[in-house]
Structure 1
Amino acid sequence: MSTATEQRTFDSLNPASGVVVGTHPLHDAEAVGAAVESAGEAARWWAGLGFERRKRRLLDYKAVLTQNLTRIATLVHEETGKPIGDATLETVLAITHLDWAARNARKVLGPRRVSTGMIGLNLAATLEYLPLGVVGVIGPWNYPVFTPMGSIAYALAAGNAVVFKPSELTPGVGALLAELFTQSVPERKVFQVVTGLGETGAALAGHPGVRKVAFTGSTATAKRVMAACAANLTPLVAECGGKDALIVDADADLGAAADAAIWGAMSNSGQTCVGVERVYVVERVYDDFLRELTERATAVRSGEDYGPITMPAQTDVIRRHVDDALAKGGKAVVGGAESVRPPYVDPVVLTDVPEDSSAVREETFGPTITVRKVATLEEALEKSNAVSYGLGGTIFSGNTRRAMELARAMLTGMTAINSVISFAGVPSLPFGGVGESGFGRIHGADGLREFARPKAISRQRFAIPGMNLTSFSRTPADMERLVKLVTFLHGRRKS
């Protein structure tokens, strides 16, 4: 864990070796306030550029990120411990989202005429989405490029300035993203970074000059951020934790389902909010699936296929969940309590774990997975929906219609069918959850609108004689004509 020093700085550490990766300022409330104030001025300039000029600059930023892909991925690897390949993948995904946001902002947010209906026949109506001003982004450490850029890119494309507070575990990545932005937009401080611990994030969320906060992190921290936002009625989009389930149908491709389950559970050391933590398998194929799963899990190596646990305290949570599962009658078919060996955790596959155990109900955020046999898909769906989280989910089935029905019935913001976490890589799809997984959306058209305010404008084109309804000069005859019109339009019941 990074710690503050007497010089009002703090260090980011490589979680695998403990070596200092970088030293960064510990920005206090005064520094945060100065950043927000300068961002307010930059926001007015940036909004004034209009969609086309912002698009050109954001596409140039995309090119700069691409040219520095190796540099970014290397720093992500150093600050999180994840393999270079995984760091590269998340940066590539962030680049594709930036591209989509830049190219689609005008189409989604620009002025458009809307129907006025018969009552408003003499009106012209337009709808557009205007920038908010300054958006505060508080990012996580597990995907320090992809996740915050899902807010930053869309907020910038919508015409806002951004002040970004990266996790104290990955401040260097955040600072680098902002540094590279200045190569495309040197004129104003449109995208700034403030670094520090929780107090820095609280100062950002509670500043009256911030018009919206985008937060990614734990549910408990989201509640504290929300409390800070409440002082100024600052709206919040919150992407919190998950306890995502994968359902395996009797006619599923078991090899593909097992491969997806292992990747969803073990990649990035299991430190993925939309990672697979629970699997429910129809009993007819349970034994075959479990054999496929254990073979693959046994072949996965911590320190090679995935890195260390980035946040040291998380190993205690993982150990507690494994111990609780085993104490309540669960079986470890791969790994076990001995798999937790900080800073690494080896793959753990647990079966027969009671549904009331912490390993099933709480977010583990480690390379562990629980597998349970169910009699029917209905039972699998019931158990999938029985937790307080509702972020993502996965269905493996050979029946497209049945899979779609299950996907719709999952109490989650996103579901992947015959793939894992694929929705995150589709820029046009919104990303977010329900319940304790948060609210609001990033990505896609919904993500662009999240960082803009709708502006409705109606304009009278001509007056309608005898229908002057919003005036003290209206007559009973005017109201009689209105009632006749409404009765004609809406008074007939449909059988």
Structure 2
Amino acid sequence: MIVRHRILRIGILPSSRYFSSFESTVKLPTGVAYRQPTGLFISNEFVPSNDGKQLTTYNPRSGKPIANVFAAGSPDVDYAVQSAGSAFRSWRSTSGTDRGILLYRLCRLIEEHKTLLGAIEAVDTGKSLDTVVTEDIQDCINVTRYYAGWADKIHGYSIQPFAEKFAYTLHEPFGVCALIVPWNYPLMLALWKLAPAIAAGNTVVLKTSELTPLSSLFLGNLIIEAGFPPGVVNILSGDGNTGAVLASHPGINKISFTGSATTGKKIMHAAANNLIPVVLELGGKSAAIVFEDADLEQSVKWCYSGIMSNSGQICSATSRILIQESIYKKFVELFKAYTVHRMSAGPLDHGPQISDVQLEKVMQYVRSGIEEGAHLVYGGKEIIGPGYFMQPTIFADVRDDMKIVREEVFGPVVVMDTFATQSDAILRANSSTYGLASAIFTKSLKLAVDTSQKLDVGMVWVNSSQDSDFRVPFGGFKMSGFGQELGEYAVKNYLRPKAVHLNLGITL
């Protein structure tokens, strides 16, 4: 049975037996001060790292430090994995109904703290508070509620090949799952993984990005308040070394990673030593295809959103736009005009890059595009001042062999070129080593359906871009990884089938 804890209705957290001394007071840009957990969250306690090592997280809008948090080393990973393993022995037997109740409680707590969580996420990522609250944190609420509903609906199948034989399947949790999340949507992507894993009966060790650990660590407070048993959810802050130790740990039974293809390969190699199954949601170089019959005004707006949202820091960003020859010049003109319009509210409104390192990486791609002969239509410059800002950048008349066309930039940089026919567009879109997503713009349903079927990607948007939904699978092909997040497919990621054979009378 579940112990029903009191749910605190809090804005700034009061003292409580649940909260550790490993925290610091952080003043948000809104003027609100709150207590930020800085310890590693293991077995429902915030604890320091074994060696005392700490990381500093910075506000991308100002470049100023926000807080220091402890960084997990190998002994800390051991402790977290052991905690999750011990908890799994009893958690796996907890009924789906009770698991769902706990997830519903967590959902309510996230909803109650929506504004505070949004403010934490905004200061840690540099996004606008309104965007984080209405989009990112709302998605956290939706996802957690959705998988709370899934917890008691996991079932197997019965199979009777013939009269004397009956068989059935059990869908069982893997055990301890390592969940490794990136910095672009810290809390949202954490819950994309955590909620279905918990609903399926697993325990988890969540590793945050060293750049954006704050909201996930704060989630530890809500995990306690929701009533989860110690060890079911463990949260570690740390850098790539922490992730490497976690991925290669013999106590891990499943890994789910979101991040770059380069790191994904390292995760897969580490997991191979222990034959641990992995789900990889990696990068992309997604193409938007604009046919000549498309609604140009809407196509421009959706394509802008598809690359410039979150300052271009989206794995599925439609960063390549292929435009049919007859409308190419008009589309480029409209896209530039719309970009100028969006920037008129203020050059910093579109948001910063996550760090100075990321900003320099994107600027190197911009310089490469210019050197290789792409036509710079707009932008291309760093915005001098506090924080890590740059102009949205538009390149036209590109070639497929250019770095900015082939490689994932992960910034507000879009490349445009023409195509003649549908088959030409499909060939060029599929030429990428990635296969995460594509967008198609046309008024022809037949053309949209036919093109969708021929694109070698995991997701296709028709007359939109980036409008994903928590009930619909999210994932890609080729160098974009394998396995899906979201929808019922995510629950299946965290379950393994077991076949049971019953002999009803076969004799030898």
TM-score where L is the length of structure 1: 0.88
Matching residue of 1:344: 389
Within-5 A mapping of 1:18-29? 18-29=63-74
Residue 279 of structure 1: SS of its match in structure 2?
strand
- Which of 420, 436, 454 is matched with 1:391 structurally? 436
Identify unmatched segments of 5+ residues in structure 2.
Answer: 1-48
Q: What RMSD, in angstroms, separates the aligned Cα atoms of the two structures?
A: 2.1
One-letter identity of the residue aligned with 2:180: I
Matching residue of 1:64: 109
One-letter identity of the residue aligned with 1:436: M
Contact between 1:318 and 1:340, CA under 8 Å: does it hold in 2?
Answer: no
Contact between 1:39 and 1:190, CA under 8 Å: does it hold in 2?
Answer: yes
Matching residue of 2:475: 432
Contact between 1:325 and 1:354, CA under 8 Å: does it hold in 2?
Answer: no
Matching residue of 2:200: 158
Within-5 A mapping of 1:377-416? 377-416=422-461
- Which of 74, 92, 100 is matched with 2:146 structurally? 100
Deviation at 1:336, TM superposition (A): 2.7
What is the rounded CA distance, in whole Å, between the counterparts of 2:281 and 2:347 in structure 1? 28
Deviation at 1:286, TM superposition (A): 1.8
What is the rounded CA distance, in whole Å, between the counterparts of 1:461 and 1:345 in structure 2? 71
- Which of 84, 95, 98 is matched with 1:53 structurally? 98
One-letter identity of the residue aligned with 1:168: E
One-letter identity of the residue aligned with 2:289: I
Deviation at 1:230, TM superposition (A): 2.0
Contact between 1:340 and 1:346, CA under 8 Å: does it hold in 2?
Answer: no
1:249 and 2:302 matched: no
One-letter identity of the residue aligned with 2:74: A
What is the rounded CA distance, in whole Å, between the counterparts of 2:373 and 2:440 in structure 1? 27
Deviation at 1:188, TM superposition (A): 2.1
Distance 1:460 1:99, change over 3 A: same
Contact between 1:154 and 1:442, CA under 8 Å: does it hold in 2?
Answer: no
Residue 64 of structure 1: SS of its match in structure 2?
helix
Deviation at 1:128, TM superposition (A): 2.6
Per-residue CA distance 1:137-196 (angstroms, 9 max, x = gap): 111000102222211111111111111110000111210122211111243221111111
What is the rounded CA distance, in whole Å, between the counterparts of 1:382 and 1:249 in structure 2? 15
Residue 234 of structure 1: SS of its match in structure 2?
coil
1:325 and 2:365 matched: no
Matching residue of 1:91: 137
One-letter identity of the residue aligned with 1:298: V
- Which of 468, 475, 488 is matched with 1:445 structurally? 488
Deviation at 1:363, TM superposition (A): 0.3
Matching residue of 2:25: none
Residue 356 of structure 2: SS of its match in structure 1?
coil
Deviation at 1:328, TM superposition (A): 2.5
One-letter identity of the residue aligned with 1:150: W
Larger radius of gyration: 1
- Which of 190, 200, 204 is matched with 1:148 structurally? 190
1:260 and 2:293 matched: no
Residue 109 of structure 2: SS of its match in structure 1?
helix
TM-score where L is the length of structure 2: 0.86
What is the rounded CA distance, in whole Å, between the counterparts of 1:194 and 1:235 in structure 2? 21
- Which of 217, 227, 230 is matched with 1:175 structurally? 217
Within-5 A mapping of 1:344-363? 344-363=389-408
What is the rounded CA distance, in whole Å, between the counterparts of 2:432 and 2:251 in structure 1? 37
Contact between 2:436 and 2:475, CA under 8 Å: does it hold in 1?
Answer: yes
Instruction: From the two aligned structures, give the one with the greater helix fraction.
Output: 1
One-letter identity of the residue aligned with 1:194: L
What is the rounded CA distance, in whole Å, between the counterparts of 1:127 and 1:221 in structure 2? 35
Matching residue of 2:235: 193
Identity %: 32
Matching residue of 1:461: 504
Q: How many residues align?
A: 457
What is the rounded CA distance, in whole Å, between the counterparts of 2:384 and 2:405 in structure 1? 18
One-letter identity of the residue aligned with 2:196: Y
Deviation at 1:339, TM superposition (A): 6.4
Moved more, 239-248 or 199-208: 199-208
One-letter identity of the residue aligned with 2:105: D
What is the rounded CA distance, in whole Å, between the counterparts of 1:171 and 1:92 in structure 2? 19
Moved more, 314-323 or 412-421: 314-323
1:32 and 2:84 matched: no
Deviation at 1:43, TM superposition (A): 1.7
Deviation at 1:35, TM superposition (A): 0.9
Contact between 1:319 and 1:340, CA under 8 Å: does it hold in 2?
Answer: no
1:305 and 2:349 matched: yes
Moved more, 247-256 or 324-333: 324-333
One-letter identity of the residue aligned with 1:220: T
Distance 1:287 1:188, change over 3 A: same
Matching residue of 1:488: none
Matching residue of 1:478: none
What is the rounded CA distance, in whole Å, between the counterparts of 1:455 and 1:367 in structure 2? 46
Distance 1:319 1:395, change over 3 A: same
Contact between 1:308 and 1:344, CA under 8 Å: does it hold in 2?
Answer: yes
Moved more, 297-306 or 229-238: 297-306
Deviation at 1:242, TM superposition (A): 0.6
What is the rounded CA distance, in whole Å, between the counterparts of 1:54 and 1:276 in structure 2? 37
Distance 1:110 1:313, change over 3 A: same
Residue 457 of structure 1: SS of its match in structure 2?
strand
Residue 267 of structure 2: SS of its match in structure 1?
helix
What is the rounded CA distance, in whole Å, between the counterparts of 2:121 and 2:456 in structure 1? 32
Contact between 1:328 and 1:354, CA under 8 Å: does it hold in 2?
Answer: no
What is the rounded CA distance, in whole Å, between the counterparts of 2:309 and 2:256 in structure 1? 25
Contact between 1:214 and 1:237, CA under 8 Å: does it hold in 2?
Answer: yes
Matching residue of 1:15: 60
What is the rounded CA distance, in whole Å, between the counterparts of 1:293 and 1:17 in structure 2? 29
Matching residue of 1:129: 171
Matching residue of 2:264: 222
What is the rounded CA distance, in whole Å, between the counterparts of 2:127 and 2:347 in structure 1? 9
What is the rounded CA distance, in whole Å, between the counterparts of 2:437 and 2:332 in structure 1? 22
Residue 276 of structure 1: SS of its match in structure 2?
coil
Contact between 1:389 and 1:436, CA under 8 Å: does it hold in 2?
Answer: yes
